[in-house]
Structure 1
Amino acid sequence: METPPRVRRGDVRAALLLLLGEEARNGYRMIQDIETRSRCVWRPSPGSVYPALQQLEDEGLVVGEDGGGSRCYRLTERGREEAARLRDAPAPWDEVAGTVPEDRHELRLLWGQLGEAFVHLTRTANDHQVAEAKKLLRRTRQSVFRILAED
């Protein structure tokens, strides 16, 4: 059985500081960047990111500025010093991605590619193509359960 990715206490904080050490960002973009850098293994929730950003603001490590409909964050001088200290350790997104076996990364990538094809299909397929896709998806689902039943 696959173990879930391991995110340690403090990983969100470290990831935010490291990302802001590169450039100012809004919270949504930081969530996306963490997901991308972790090879889609870790997507922190807004419920963990925004409180962490507020805590960093309270500590004087970041400054949030409203503009363009979203709040953009940047490091203060103290925040840059803290981010510089973190650069010597492995990035938290690399550590989290490393908790998932390599073959699972490929499986996640394939699933993502299938999702892209599905979105394209729902937007552009004619009735015959939709009917064929439904048949394929039913067979695929049955096949996956057959694989799982082999043990």
Structure 2
Amino acid sequence: MAAAWQDQRSETRGEHHGFGPHEHRNRGHRHGWGGFGGGPFGPPGFMFGGRGGGFGRTRKAKRGDVRAAILALLAEEPRNGYQIIQEIAERSQGGWKPSPGAVYPALQQLTDEGLVRAQEIDGRKTFQLTEAGQAYIAEHASEVRAPWEEMTPDIGDDVHELFDLSRQAASALFQIAQGGSDGQLRQAKQILAETRRKLYQVLADGDPDEE
């Protein structure tokens, strides 16, 4: 168990690498901002609300959900603990992100039962199903489901489209921030300021459908 938790701490330390504007900007040149896939402009953790940003209703995780999710994911391919946590969060669209304190003990229990085994891959403890684990899944198909599907936020199509447009705009912003001229940067800031003003005006004007 101690070894599993040590792996968890090592994986968590690398969780935020490559995300967001973590490098300062010096005069005359700009440093990279990292990827947008899981950072401030994309889910999970989408800055405009995004997946898991408080929209829609989801049910809470119940007993056995973590175990079922782990088995379902390992049936696809071997994964380490951090990958399991992130994959659940992504597939539930941010509606469910189990804590390391739930995932690692469950992995240890599955290992003790002989359904899962761990091996070191690239310095990390990676888990995969044993033959007994594969047989267990075949015999308990109804149990080894995808519980994250029941915890996906109930978000309407309009909200999804809004987030998609926001991510596309953020991608354009990223390109300007990375390679735009000073004039383009000034113009982009003006556009963003005007867009923000107009969005707040939309809120202030109320619902047009109620008029």
TM-score by length of 1: 0.72
* Aligned-pair CA distance for 1:97: 2.6
Identity over aligned residues, as a percent? 41
Q: Which has the larger radius of gyration?
A: 2
Rate the CA distance shift 1:111–1:13 in 2: closer, same or farther, 3 A.
farther
1:23 aligned residue: 77
Tell me: higher relative CO, structure 1 or 2? Use CA pairs within 8 A at least 6 residues apart. Answer: 1
* Aligned-pair CA distance for 1:18: 0.6
1:146 aligned residue: 201
TM-score by length of 2: 0.56
2:4 aligned residue: none
Question: Do residues 103 (structure 1) and 162 (structure 2) align?
Answer: no
AA partner of residue 152 (structure 2): A
SS in 2 for 1:22: coil
* RMSD (CA atoms): 3.1
Question: Do residues 119 (structure 1) and 142 (structure 2) align?
Answer: no
SS in 2 for 1:114: helix
CA distance in 2, matches of 1:45, 1:128: 45
Rate the CA distance shift 1:101–1:67 in 2: closer, same or farther, 3 A.
same
2:91 aligned residue: 37
Rate the CA distance shift 1:45–1:98 in 2: closer, same or farther, 3 A.
closer
1:91 aligned residue: 146
Count of equivalent residues: 150
Rate the CA distance shift 1:90–1:56 in 2: closer, same or farther, 3 A.
closer
Rate the CA distance shift 1:65–1:89 in 2: closer, same or farther, 3 A.
closer
**Bigger proportion of residues as helix:** 1
